[in-house]
A and B are shown apart, each in its own frame.
Chain A
Amino acid sequence: MAEGQVIVGLEVHCQLDTKSKLFCGCSTDYRNDAPNTHVCPVCLGLPGAMPVLNKRSIEYAMRVAKALNCSVLPESEFSRKNYFYPDLDKAYQITQYDKPLAEGGYLEIESDEGGEKRIRITRIHVEEDPGRLVHRGTTESGKYSLVDYNRAGIPLIEIVSEPDMRSPKEARKFLNKLRATLEYLSVFDSEKEGSLRVDANISIKGSERVEVKNISSYKGVEKALLFEITRQKSLLRRGQKVDRETRHYLEARGVTQSSRSKEQEHDYRYFPEPDLRPLHVQSWVEGIVLPELPDARRERFIAQYGCSLNHARTLTGELRLANFFEKVVAADPTGLSTLADTWIADTLIGELNYRAMSIDAVDATGFTELLTLLKQCIITDNSGIEVLRVMLDQRRDNQSCETPSAIVDRLNLRKVSFDTAQSGIEGNPDIDPLRTSIAEVLMEHPAAVEDFRKGRKGAFNFLIGQLMKKTRGCADPAELNRLLQEELNKKEA
């Protein structure tokens, strides 16, 4: 490793998508409800209440362990992590300490140099989420906190990586791959706000390690890391030392800040949770059947649908997107795959991002219809984009959604083309709108025609451009080319 090399490790906390909490039966669907309405004696930490482990949370965590190639320990147990904080109602968090659920695995990502790279996983364990704090008050002495315990007891899986990442980009890729994997396993819903939190450990080779906490978005990870690396590098450039410390990421300002909070000396006084029995679940691993995971799906998309590597990566990088693709091409895979490939991975995603819309908003049947219109050359690519935009806008603005065919007809986007079989009359300008348009353009731009005669290539393209404008993109470019060539040759003759 080169001196000055960036070293990054991540600790990722994801909420497991179970129906009830980790140690009690309170529903986990708390986000739209009033505070303190998903609480019972257990998750409120009332004196005398006792935890009982949710089996599904362990099943889910083991799926993750298997998918990440980890070894499940023959015996694992829960421990108490003791510290005081208003959102921690028992003043300890039930977590796993020296006997986690699983250890030692890896996740493959695309490395910065190209090719695949393995990021090693140190350990995976299960723990409970604390409650949520809201801060009120403006003056220093008038400040106070409000606590909502709805979130207390939600099951979390913590995935710790070795410091194998070498750039913010690799960190983002790791996180994306991890998120996609967890979604494919049906154990995690990334759409839920706050369902994923990241702590990052960053150092420059030869210097101290800094921990950055409180990163709660994917974009935030890359930004936080970029900021922190810049900060550390500039300290070193000025001959100063990087202090070993914990910093907080402030999302709104995009900066990391040294933690002023009175986090007590990190003496958590761990000991095994006496109210819970140990887990002997190594024997469950064999029976876990993993679904098709992102890498396998990517390979299948390449083999089965002929997608390019890049497109396949993009399409399988998100479960919902991959499902959308397959749904769209289902009726006619051979005919639609190539179109769907580009149209979804390049065009649709761009249009969705621009509108801050999710793939869930797109009706697969409608999209299939659009692709079919394109395949049948009924509309041109440009018209296709116009139709797509109308479809998305209608959806976004909650208007009644028209079918693509309806939009095409309403906006008169059917491709204009010469069809001798239909017209029965060859070259009759009165009946052939395309030839009429060509005739008009040639009349309107005699200088260009002259240039063409003189052999200037650019003139032809100019004329094509004018024709495209006149036919409002309805004409098929290839046919336009052919007919213009014909007309020009005719004139010459």
Chain B
Amino acid sequence: MATEQEVRHIAGLADVGINTEELARFTHQFNAILDYFDILDRVSGDTAVTRDRYNVMREDEIEPSLPQEEVLRNAAATEDGFIKAPRVME
């Protein structure tokens, strides 16, 4: 069972954020679903999954790239052809 603490931690790991107001209800619903997932503990069988298709590859050929404007078009902020991102702590 996940505690509110753990649920907050998972929200952090997934970078989705969870508001304090919703945390309690969210945790309750979350645990109900996890409870339901427990039925998988009963599953037995081998992991030999049928692998009918493999080695799907393409030849090493160059294809046209997108023009720079297309790459940048949907970005909120750009500079000198780069896409602007929040700062990274080094």
- A residues in contact (CB < 8 Å) with B: 18-20, 24-27, 34-41, 44, 52-58, 75, 84-86, 133-137, 143-149, 248, 260-262, 264-265, 267, 276-281
Contact = CB atoms under 8 A, between A and B. Distances in A.
Interface of B: 13, 15, 51, 53-68, 71-72, 79-90
Given A19-B62, A52-B57, A133 B88 contact: yes
A46 to B, nearest CB: 9
Summarize B's interface: helix, strand, loop or mixed: loop
Contact of B53 (A37, A54, A277): A277
B63 to A, nearest CB: 3
Interface centre among B67, B80, B82, B84 (most CB of A within 10 A): B82
Contacts of B89: 260-262
Given A26-B63, A267-B13, A147 B83 contact: yes
A267 B65 CA distance: 33
30 contacts: A18-B60, A19-B60, A19-B61, A19-B62, A20-B62, A26-B63, A34-B68, A36-B71, A37-B65, A40-B64, A40-B65, A44-B71, A52-B56, A54-B60, A55-B57, A56-B60, A75-B51, A84-B15, A143-B87, A144-B84, A144-B87, A145-B85, A145-B87, A146-B79, A146-B82, A146-B83, A260-B89, A276-B56, A277-B54, A277-B55
B58 A52 contact: yes
B63 A20 contact: yes
A215 to B, nearest CB: 15
A163 B16 CA distance: 39
Contacts of B61: 19-20, 25
Given A146-B83, A278-B51, A265 B13 contact: yes
Interface centre among A36, A248, A264 (most CB of B within 10 A): A36
Contact of B68 (A18, A36, A85, A146): A36
Contacts of A133: 85, 88
Summarize A's interface: helix, strand, loop or mixed: loop
B54 to A, nearest CB: 5
A179 B67 CA distance: 35
A147 B56 contact: no
A20 B62 CA distance: 5
A390 B66 CA distance: 48
B83 A36 contact: yes
A86 B88 CA distance: 8
A86 to B, nearest CB: 4
Contacts, number: 127
A271 B40 CA distance: 18
Contacts of B80: 35, 146
A279 B54 CA distance: 6
A27 B65 contact: yes
B1 to A, nearest CB: 20
A262 B15 CA distance: 13
A238 B72 CA distance: 54
A187 B41 CA distance: 47
A231 B75 CA distance: 44
B15 A41 contact: no
B66 A44 contact: yes
Contacts of A149: 71, 83
Contacts of B59: 55-56
A320 B87 CA distance: 41
Given A25-B63, A27-B62, A39-B71, A146 B57 contact: no
Contacts of B13: 264-265, 267
A24 B57 contact: no
Contacts of A35: 68, 80-82
Contact of B62 (A25, A34, A134, A276): A25
Given A20-B63, A34-B68, A39-B71, A137 B87 contact: yes
Given A18-B60, A19-B61, A278-B54, A261 B82 contact: no
Interface centre among B63, B79, B86, B90 (most CB of A within 10 A): B90
Given A24-B63, A36-B71, A55 B81 contact: no
A136 B57 CA distance: 39
A287 B87 CA distance: 49
Contacts of A25: 58, 61-64
Contacts of B15: 84
Nearest to B53: A277
Contact of B90 (A146, A261, A278): A261
A279 B56 CA distance: 8
A53 B85 contact: no
A148 B81 CA distance: 8
Contacts of A19: 60-62
A135 B60 contact: no
Contacts of B56: 52-53, 276-277
A38 B58 CA distance: 18
